[in-house]
Structure 1
């Protein structure tokens, strides 16, 4: 019989037990940082045991301040055992449902990279699918560091901050940027909520990130019309570009590149030495915008999810 239990206060090193020295150090630092931020909680950290022996370990994650977990941050088991992964995942999903989660996600990165170093992507994907998870997004992760210069700014756009614009106007423009989006997650949001509702959804999501209200801006074109949205922020681990959006009538003018450049400048001025951004592999426009601003595609990320209803 397999059981799942929360770890005790002195068991957090179980997450790094038996790993290579590099992965163990990375996991210890990650767990400590996420616990301090409140994104991972001790009661959300689990050990799966089968007949008294450890089968796997997992940790649930939420943005700081959220009371319900949204994703699996850590997942380790004996990947040589084809039954172990699905078994652990089903137990973790059931516990997340008990904690109030309506859905659960997991991100799988290749090539293996800090902090999680997922060395068995094929086996992990097979386990996710066997446990009822489906691919939500085939994405790319990009990173800028201060090894590169702050990108030049595009003086065609005049940026005005959220406190000046007001929430309603900001949400309206934000929703318009998602019309015809090539991002699968955003497209699902539009299908579920409509353009304005999707704008509300992203605005409320980004409000949970560490940010200053003046960082969230609308870029106005030379004719005075709203053209693009910039939402740089910080999550518990790093500075992020957040949301990049251009309204349909202003696309194919290089404004996505301008928004990424603006986000880097804002975050660098606030002290960031590294900035990360994400996009769908199919979103070639945003991918070009990251590359044009000196970002490196350091990892590819496939995001899986399942309903817990």
Structure 2
């Protein structure tokens, strides 16, 4: 019989360990230790599956951004391939616990190929477990990364950038509303259908603002005719600097400005000490994928984003 329970103090931050996989064990221990330190999770949010002999055979850890008290995602989901009931039981316990803590939805990202710190091996099986427990794919994404070189491309001379410090938030939300009305991003398009372009823009701005950033980092690039052409919202999440969001106004698409916006965000982050930067986009957004590549980024993984209403 399998028991799902909170991890005990002596089981943190190791949780499930694999004797033949020291790289994975070290990476995930370090990852969970960091999550506990930054309060992206709490000990009572770390759930484990214990078999009839007292061994830990699975785990799932609820996650949130620093400063938040309600989880909205989970990480470090581990379920043995040979025990068909363990995975669904862990997912059910995670959803139930998140709901009791006030969450209205729960998300999880599945990266392929497997890599540090979560090493999500057997992505097909993991996806089947998620779908079988009621999760649906919100976005088929592509992940990009850059180790910041000594020299970066120059800013696009066609654009004049002004920051959030100078402009205030209103022009940023206005530009987001305009570009979200014609977006290739599945998640954002779904938000527009549900909430309307204005509320979706406000929500995107608010959610991105929860990431660590300085007002001076966030900018709108204006075309030579004075109209707003691109938006750049670089930031830092709990583990790495990110191109939080970039977008091009519909009237200015087809000019190569997406690449210009990625380069601008990269330069801003590099000027503030970033040595590695990550970014992502929807698989259907081929223009954005090309922009990352042209700005020097490498597509190092694919990412399925799953979600379920609680």
TM-score, normalised with respect to structure 2: 0.95
Mapped partners of 1:72, 1:149: distance in 2? 37
Structure 1 position 65 matched with structure 2 position 67: yes
The alpha-carbon distance between structure 1 residues 64 and 179, as it changes in their structure 2 partners (threshold 3 A), is same
* Offset of residue 182 of structure 1: 0.6
Aligned length: 308
Considering only aligned residues, what root-mean-square deviation do their CA atoms show, in Å? 1.5
Worse overlay, 34-43 or 249-258: 34-43
The alpha-carbon distance between structure 1 residues 259 and 108, as it changes in their structure 2 partners (threshold 3 A), is same
Mapped partners of 1:147, 1:23: distance in 2? 28
Match of 2:89 among 81, 87, 90: 87
Preserved CA contact (<8 Å) 1:151 1:264:
no
Preserved CA contact (<8 Å) 1:56 1:76:
yes
Q: Which residue of 2 aligns with 1:47?
A: 48
SS of structure 2 residue aligned to 1:264: helix
Q: Which residue of 1 aligns with 2:10?
A: 10
Mapped partners of 2:124, 2:269: distance in 1? 36
Structure 1 position 126 matched with structure 2 position 140: no
Mapped partners of 2:152, 2:26: distance in 1? 31
* Offset of residue 199 of structure 1: 1.2
Structure 2 gaps of 5+ residues are: none
SS of structure 2 residue aligned to 1:291: helix
Mapped partners of 1:190, 1:99: distance in 2? 28
* Offset of residue 38 of structure 1: 1.7
Match of 1:260 among 235, 257, 262: 262
The alpha-carbon distance between structure 1 residues 79 and 148, as it changes in their structure 2 partners (threshold 3 A), is farther
Q: Which residue of 1 aligns with 2:102?
A: 100
Mapped partners of 2:94, 2:146: distance in 1? 34
Q: Which residue of 2 aligns with 1:155?
A: 157
The alpha-carbon distance between structure 1 residues 263 and 16, as it changes in their structure 2 partners (threshold 3 A), is farther
Preserved CA contact (<8 Å) 1:26 1:115:
yes
Preserved CA contact (<8 Å) 1:16 1:27:
no
Structure 1 position 165 matched with structure 2 position 135: no
Match of 1:217 among 219, 226, 251: 219
SS of structure 2 residue aligned to 1:286: helix
* Offset of residue 192 of structure 1: 1.6
Mapped partners of 1:253, 1:122: distance in 2? 38
Mapped partners of 2:180, 2:193: distance in 1? 11
Structure 1 gaps of 5+ residues are: none
Q: Which residue of 1 aligns with 2:23?
A: 22
- The 5 A counterparts of 1:227-266 are 227-266=229-268
Please list the CA deviations of residues 6-58 of structure 1 after superposition, one character each: whole Å capped at 9, or x if unmatched.
Answer: 22333214335225110011101111222222212212111123545534111
Worse overlay, 248-257 or 54-63: 54-63
Q: Which residue of 2 aligns with 1:302?
A: 304
Preserved CA contact (<8 Å) 1:16 1:25:
no
Structure 1 position 33 matched with structure 2 position 13: no
SS of structure 2 residue aligned to 1:299: strand
Worse overlay, 29-38 or 116-125: 29-38
SS of structure 2 residue aligned to 1:15: coil
TM-score, normalised with respect to structure 1: 0.95
Mapped partners of 2:220, 2:200: distance in 1? 17
* Offset of residue 2 of structure 1: 4.4
Mapped partners of 1:117, 1:79: distance in 2? 15
